């Protein structure tokens, strides 16, 4: 079964190729069969491989397809590497991706670019699979850039509107900043190890670099730069909220299965480097903690349903980075998986609400949808509960609780991480249920046009189930102590080591975390259902801060001021191009001399004779003087 591994990325690529070649001629009904079918088959293949892998020895499996190129001993292979880490990723990518494809079949049905949309989606999934299955960093980088390209194409999918094109370019350019850092990191790795094969690097690194050596820290920070760009973390997070310009299924795909989790994958895949560079790893945690806080505050103030979810994604990936930063790699991957389920669910639910309300994005113009759209309401509520980490019944509780615990109890954890994560958990619950209460409770403000079909509701139900049961495969010590997930990842990612004698306090942290998320829900209920006037009062009393949060802490303005304005000024100042001046000078002087010499060719013979006479006198005089 494992020999079929190549089919997993090949099928979506094949689907994309079919749609590129035949897309225009295919019947409308056939497009989703190719688009969703290819990813569905890929999901099926990865399920079979997964069963084979789990029932077997769980030893890593490498499939060598061909040598990509061979230059002076540097020969990256097109080879796939399957271990428990990449298996989790291909499972999530193909399954969540498949559900999103099915959903898109109905969601995008009336769109002109139906075939184009599925082409890009397939390409997106294929690139992401390439990224997580690559056995060397060059192939990984290919997938990495492929994902970036597809995100550009999909965010700007409705390209007739100028602001969508702008958002697409913004996403592309900002992630490119991180990619440049990552590329430099790869060059440094190659110079040290003379190979970019991931497993070779990981096995050689401890022998070459001391713990905390400068080279390891530099490489770690550069890789972190790449991860920060792709995963929309501080300070490169500002592209993600604008990426909401794309259709909702795209947002679901970017936020749940592909793209933003690439950074988490990269760091956990290269974990040895980060273990050798404690400074870099500490920065992973600090960036995660800061990001989860600032984007949480921004999410509190948004009124566009999709922007709230966008900021929540940044915040949740901040949690994953925090977990990676304290060395709780399996917790990060666990949270990634649960997050993929509930965030895809939330985005698909939000997309359905927006579509059924004639593209209304403002949650304050929704309201009262609880009765009108029961399926969407209940599934959205389950997703929101998971995002807010409601105790015991949701998957999100178990995955986030683990991160909270390790943020404090892990050897690299500390009190500050815990406080940030706790505050983040409270804010998460608050903004999540603010969104739920405003959207689904109260009075109906916009009429529901029609109801969602089966292709849209079934993925929602499946994802709702997954985001609930998914959490029960890993239960904390205090409740059942099931460790299926971390045991499963143990061969690849090291288990976290705890501080001494701390285990007894785990229940306190769980209690506080549960209490915080419940109080967040209650405060949201109090503010947005019971006494909405209080909110307005608070809003007015902190209006400056509110505006600041609303604009994402002013990062856009800052970058506008720091980079965009100087760049525009420079390009305006240099409109005539300084370099061109030298070449212009050649032209001007040639022209000048041309005019001068042409003037001497007057055609009047007496002038020529005069010239000859003067020349002769000059030559004779000079020769008399110098000889």
Partner 1 sequence: MNTIPVEAGLILAGILFMLGLISVLVRRNIIFMLISVEIMLNAAGLAFITAGAKWMQADGQIMFIFILTMAAAEVSVGLALILQIYHQLKTLDGDAANKMKG
- Name the residue nearer to partner 1 (CB basis): 511 or 609: 609
* Distance of closest approach, residue 613 Cβ to partner 1, in angstroms: 7
Residue 103: helix, strand or coil by DSSP?
helix
Question: Given the complex with partner 1, which of 605 and 625 has the nearer CB atom?
Answer: 605
Which is closer to partner 1, CB of 579 or CB of 598? 598
CB of 626 to partner 1, least distance (A): 23
Q: Minimal distance in Å, beta carbon 625 to partner 1?
A: 20
Q: Which is nearer to partner 1, 534 or 590 (CB)?
A: 590
One DSSP character per residue, 281-320 reads HHHHHHHHHHHHHHHHHHHHH--BHHHHHHHHHHHHHHHH
Contacts of 149 (CB under 8 A, 6+ apart): 127, 172
Least Å from the CB of residue 594 to partner 1 = 9
Tokens of 147: 């994902």
Nearer to partner 1, 213 or 616 (CB): 616
- Nearer to partner 1 by C-beta: 66 or 597? 597
Residue placing its CB nearer to partner 1 in the complex, 54 or 612: 612
| CA atoms of 375 and 411, how far apart (whole Å) | 44
Note whether 197 and 135 are within 8 A (CB).
yes
Query: Toward partner 1, which CB reaches closer, 213 or 602?
Result: 602
Least separation in angstroms between CB 609 and partner 1: 6
b or e along 252-267 (b: 16 or more beta carbons within 10 Å of the residue's beta carbon)? bbbbbbbbbbbbbbbb
Q: What are phi and psi of 606, to 5 degrees?
A: -65, -30
278: phi then psi, degrees, rounded to nearest 5: -60, -30
Helix (H, G, I), strand (E, B) or coil at 290: helix
Cα 325 from Cα 274, distance rounded (Å): 9
Which is nearer to partner 1, 173 or 610 (by Cβ)? 610
CB of 584 to partner 1, least distance (A): 24
Q: Tokens for 437?
A: 């209460």
Cis-peptide, bond into residue 273, ω within 30° of zero = no
Q: Residue 179 CB, nearest distance to partner 1 (Å)?
A: 59
Integer-rounded Cα Rg, in Å, for the chain is 30
Q: Give just the sign of the alpha carbon dihedral 137, 138, 139, 141.
A: positive
Q: Length of the chain, please?
A: 627
- From the list 166, 286, 181, the residue with the least C-alpha distance to 230 is 181
How far is the C-alpha of 612 from the C-alpha of 260, rounded, in Å?
81
Q: Nearest-CA neighbor of 453 among 12, 32, 23?
A: 32
Residue 606 CB, nearest approach to partner 1 (Å): 6
- Residue 591 CB, shortest distance to partner 1, in Å, is 14
Other CB atoms within 10 A of residue 493 CB: 22
Q: Which two tokens stand for residue 139?
A: 């192939």
Q: Which is nearer to partner 1, 582 or 605 (CB)?
A: 605
Specify the residue for token string 């994402």: 552
- Smallest gap from Cβ 599 to partner 1, in A, equals 7
- Give which of 29, 267, 245 is closest to 157, Cα–Cα: 245
**Contacting residues toward partner 1, per CB under 8 A:** 597-606, 609-610, 613
Q: Which residue lies nearer to partner 1 by CB, 210 or 602?
A: 602
**Smallest gap from residue 145 Cβ to partner 1 (A):** 58
Q: Between 187 and 607, name the residue whose CB sits nearer to partner 1.
A: 607
Neighbours of 604 (CB within 10 A): 9
Label residue 484 exposed, middle or buried (CB < 10 Å: 0-12, 13-18, 19+): exposed
Q: What are phi and psi of 494, to 5 degrees?
A: -70, 150
Shortest separation between residue 602's beta carbon and partner 1, angstroms: 5
φ, ψ for residue 443 (rounded to 5)?
-95, 155
The C-alpha atoms of residue 130 and residue 258 are separated, in whole angstroms, by 11
Which CB atom, from 504 or from 601, has the smaller least distance to partner 1? 601
User: CB of 593: closest distance to partner 1 in angstroms?
Assistant: 12
Q: Which two tokens stand for residue 191?
A: 């110079």
SS3 of 74, please?
Answer: strand
Cβ proximity of 60 and 96 under 8 Å: no
Nearest to 61 by CA among 26, 87, 35, 29: 87
Smallest gap from Cβ 597 to partner 1, in A, equals 7
For partner 1, the closer of residues 560 and 602 by Cβ is 602
Q: Which two tokens stand for residue 456?
A: 């849209």
């Amino acid at each position: 079964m494992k020999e079929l591994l190549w089919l997993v990325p090949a099928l979506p690529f094949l689907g994309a190729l079919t749609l590129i070649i035949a897309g225009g001629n295919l019947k409308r009904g056939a497009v989703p069969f190719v688009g969703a079918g290819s990813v569905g088959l890929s999901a099926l293949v990865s399920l079979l491989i997964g069963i084979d892998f789990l029932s077997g020895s769980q030893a890593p499996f490498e499939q060598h397809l061909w040598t990509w190129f061979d230059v002076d001993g540097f020969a990256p292979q097109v080879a796939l590497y399957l271990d428990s880490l990449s298996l989790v990723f291909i499972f999530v990518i193909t399954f969540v991706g498949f559900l999103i494809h099915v959903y898109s079949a109905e969601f995008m049905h009336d769109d002109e670019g139906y075939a184009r949309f599925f082409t890009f989606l397939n390409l997106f999934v294929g690139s992401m699979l390439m990224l997580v299955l690559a056995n060397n960093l060059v192939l990984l980088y290919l997938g990495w850039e492929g994902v970036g390209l597809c995100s550009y194409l999909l965010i700007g999918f409705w390209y007739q509107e100028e602001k969508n094109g702008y958002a697409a370019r913004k996403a592309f350019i900002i992630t490119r900043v991180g990619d440049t850092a990552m590329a430099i990191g790869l060059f440094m790795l190659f110079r040290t190890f003379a190979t970019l094969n991931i497993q070779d690097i990981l096995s050689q690194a401890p022998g070459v670099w001391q713990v905390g050596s400068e080279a390891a820290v530099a490489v770690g920070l550069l890789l972190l730069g790449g991860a920060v760009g792709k995963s929309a973390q501080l300070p490169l997070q500002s592209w993600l909220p604008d990426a909401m310009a794309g259709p909702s299924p795209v947002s679901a795909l970017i936020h749940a299965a592909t793209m933003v989790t690439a950074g988490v994958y990269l760091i956990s895949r290269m974990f040895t480097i980060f273990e050798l560079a404690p400074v870099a790893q500490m920065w992973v945690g600090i960036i995660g903690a800061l990001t989860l806080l600032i984007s949480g505050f921004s999410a509190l103030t948004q009124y566009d349903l999709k922007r709230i979810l966008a900021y929540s994604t940044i915040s949740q990936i901040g949690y994953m980075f925090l977990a990676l930063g304290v060395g709780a790699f399996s917790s990060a991957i666990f949270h990634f998986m649960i997050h993929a389920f509930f965030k895809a669910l939330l985005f698909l639910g939000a997309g359905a609400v927006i579509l059924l309300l004639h593209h209304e994005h403002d949650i304050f113009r929704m309201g009262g949808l609880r009765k009108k759209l029961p399926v969407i309401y209940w599934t959205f509520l389950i997703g929101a509960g998971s995002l807010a980490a409601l105790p015991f019944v949701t998957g999100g509780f178990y995955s986030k609780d683990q991160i909270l615990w390790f943020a404090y109890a892990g050897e690299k954890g500390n009190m500050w991480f815990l406080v940030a994560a706790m505050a983040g958990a409270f804010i998460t619950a608050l903004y999540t249920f603010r969104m739920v209460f405003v959207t689904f409770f109260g009075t109906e403000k916009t009429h529901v046009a029609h109801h969602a079909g089966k292709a849209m509701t079934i993925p929602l139900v499946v994802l709702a189930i997954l985001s609930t049961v998914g959490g029960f495969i890993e239960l904390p010590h205090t409740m059942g102590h099931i460790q299926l997930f971390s045991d499963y990842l143990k061969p690849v990612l090291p288990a976290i080591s705890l501080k001494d004698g701390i285990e007894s306090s785990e229940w306190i942290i769980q209690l506080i975390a549960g209490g915080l998320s419940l109080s967040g829900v209650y405060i949201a209920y109090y503010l947005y259902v019971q006494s909405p006037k209080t909110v307005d009062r608070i809003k007015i009393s902190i209006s400056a801060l509110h505006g600041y949060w609303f604009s994402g802490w002013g990062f856009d303005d800052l970058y506008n001021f720091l980079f965009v304005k100087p760049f525009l000024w420079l390009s305006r100042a240099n409109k005539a191009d300084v370099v061109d001046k030298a070449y212009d000078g050649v032209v001007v002087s040639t022209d000048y001399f041309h005019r001068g010499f042409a003037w001497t060719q007057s055609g009047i013979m007496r002038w020529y004779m005069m010239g000859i006479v003067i020349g002769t006198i000059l030559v004779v005089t000079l020769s008399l003087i110098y000889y």
